[in-house]
Amino acid sequence: QKEVEQNSGPLSVPEGAIASLNCTYSDRGSQSFFWYRQYSGKSPELIMFIYSNGDKEDGRFTAQLNKASQYVSLLIRDSQPSDSATYLCAVLSGNNRLAFGKGNQVVVIP
C-alpha cells in the first residue's frame, strides 16, 4: 500500500470555480499534513499545512483533514489561471521526512 495516494487524473476547472483535490494516507499515526504546489520545472512550494481534524482556511485555499478516514483534501476557491499547477499532498512520516503523493494536475481554463 502506497504511503500517500492521489488518484484523480488531471482536473480542468473554469476560472472562478472551485477545484477540489483529495489525498489518502496509509499510516494511521501520521500527525502532520501538507499541500505543496509545483509549477512545471520548479520546486515544491508549501501552500497549506494542517495538523488537526477539521478545516483550515488561508485565503482562497482550504485544507480539510479527517484522521479517522485517513484523508486530506484541498479546496481552491475562485480558481485563477495562475493556480494551474500540480498539487502535491505530503505526509510527515518517520523521522520528520515527507512522503509525497504523485500529485494532481490542475488546469484552470480562462
Partner 1 sequence: EPEVTQTPSHQVTQMGQEVILRCVPISNHLYFYWYRQILGQKVEFLVSFYNNEISEKSEIFDDQFSVERPDGSNFTLKIRSTKLEDSAMYFCASTLGYEQYFGPGTRLTVT
Q: Which is nearer to partner 1, 15 or 39 (CB)?
A: 39
What span, in angstroms and rounded, lies between the C-alpha atoms of 36 and 43? 9
Tell me if 103 contacts partner 1 by CB under 8 A. yes
Q: Is 96 exposed, middle or buried (0-12, 13-18, 19+ CB in 10 A)?
A: exposed
Give, for 8, the enclosing helix (H) or strand (E): none
What binding mask, one character per residue, do residues 51-70 give for partner 1 by CB under 8 A, x or -? x-------------------
Tell me if 100 contacts partner 1 by CB under 8 A. yes
Grid cell 492521489 is found at 6
User: What are the Cα distances from residue 43, in Å, to 14, 67, 70, 88, 101?
Assistant: 25, 28, 26, 11, 15
Tell me if 21 contacts partner 1 by CB under 8 A. no
Q: Which is nearer to partner 1, 94 or 110 (CB)?
A: 94
Q: Which is nearer to partner 1, 48 or 79 (CB)?
A: 48
Tell me if 11 contacts partner 1 by CB under 8 A. no
Tell me if 95 contacts partner 1 by CB under 8 A. yes
